[in-house]
Structure 1
Amino acid sequence: KESPIDNKSLNNSNKAAKPDRGFHEFPNALVDYLVASSERKKEEENLTNFLDSVL
């Protein structure tokens, strides 16, 4: 059974979630997931850039 929330709708929610609208409109768990996901992406990019510069 597929989850009703796919990555595309997550990305759209993330773009729509401007701080002035307030994150209270979104479940805390979803906000935490989006934040953790974007942090992890930054770390991966940093690691890739580091490896590129070393190799």
Structure 2
Amino acid sequence: MDVMENMDLAVKYGIAAVPTLLLFKDGEVVERLQGYQDKAKLQQLIDGHVSA
């Protein structure tokens, strides 16, 4: 999302740096990453929270 157009959500989730990735599961933040992440890191993060 564009944090400049959605400042209320940025504040709600404490986003102070761009890029920031929040991974939600069942409506709750389960992971938070800031800065550039390569594809392998993102895949590992997602795979760790997706049940088969």
TM-score by length of 2: 0.32
If each structure's strand is expressed as a fraction of its own residues, which one has the higher value? 2
* Bigger relative contact order (CA 8 A; separation at least 6): 2
If each structure's helix is expressed as a fraction of its own residues, which one has the higher value? 1
TM-score by length of 1: 0.31
